[in-house]
Chain A
Amino acid sequence: AQSVTQLGSHVSVSEGALVLLRCNYSSSVPPYLFWYVQYPNQGLQLLLKYTSAATLVKGINGFEAEFKKSETSFHLTKPSAHMSDAAEYFCAVSAAPGGGADGLTFGKGTHLIIQP
């Protein structure tokens, strides 16, 4: 069984500041990890994914995440926040590379607020 915990339902940062969204996972098998973003009134869009290749994963819009097995973490970062980054961010885990037929297990999401 897998689970995901996202620390902080809301994170507020100033424009230009570092963004750090935390995700910890639990998995009985080697995990595949994803970050999705949801803008208002839109579907979930994949930001990046970890599928057992490089532990530092780069995604779209300047985001990256590092897989740390010892810490069971997959935190999402961006060096400099932009107003357009304001959205809901979801971390998800699966036992299969694309989620397979088992579906993704999501965290509760973190609402990122960007202060001007």
Chain B
Amino acid sequence: EPEVTQTPSHQVTQMGQEVILRCVPISNHLYFYWYRQILGQKVEFLVSFYNNEISEKSEIFDDQFSVERPDGSNFTLKIRSTKLEDSAMYFCASSPERIYEQFFGPGTRLTVL
């Protein structure tokens, strides 16, 4: 069964460094999403992406964040200058169209030291 994959499973970085989290959505899906979950807190929506542009973004998704679909398969989340409070589990999700549920990847745990 097709699934969303994410790499790496765990990323450790120093504060101020740039990180890129990678996702491979399910191949025929058109909508892509990033969520994050800070330890012990809710899963929070960050951004959605459709037709090669951002559809919606939350207030969390500030100028430090960017998303890209550099080729036909990958969907990336870049954090330009990481802060301690960016430490969280980041989930990628995809959906074939608006009326379907979102399919989630296993997440990338980002630790900022």
Residues on A facing B (Cβ under 8 Å): 34, 36, 41-46, 49, 51, 90, 92, 96-109
Specify which of A45, A51, A101 is in contact with B48 (CB 8 Å cutoff).
Answer: A101
The number of residues on chain B lying at the interface, defined by a beta carbon within 8 Å of a beta carbon of chain A, is 31
Determine whether the beta carbon of A107 is less than 8 Å from that of B56. Answer: no
- In the complex, whether B75 has a CB less than 8 A from a CB of chain A is no
Contact B106–A43 (Cβ < 8 Å): yes
Residue contact A105 to B45, C-beta cutoff 8 Å: yes
* A98 pairs with B95, CB closer than 8 A: yes
Question: Which of the segments B66-74, B77-85, B96-104 contacts the partner chain?
Answer: B96-104
Give the residue of B46, B98, B105 whose beta carbon is less than 8 angstroms from that of A100.
B98
Judge whether B19 is part of the interface by a CB distance below 8 angstroms. Answer: no
Residue of A nearest to B45 (CB): A103
Closest to A41 in B: B106
> Closest chain B residue to A48 by CB distance?
B101
In the bound assembly, the distance between CA atoms of A88 and B85 in angstroms comes to: 23
A43 contacts B4, CB within 8 Å?
yes
A-B contact pairs, 27 of them (CB 8 A): A43-B3, A43-B91, A44-B104, A46-B102, A46-B103, A49-B101, A51-B99, A92-B43, A97-B98, A97-B100, A98-B97, A98-B99, A98-B100, A98-B102, A99-B33, A101-B50, A101-B55, A101-B98, A102-B45, A102-B55, A102-B56, A103-B35, A103-B48, A105-B45, A106-B43, A108-B41, A109-B43
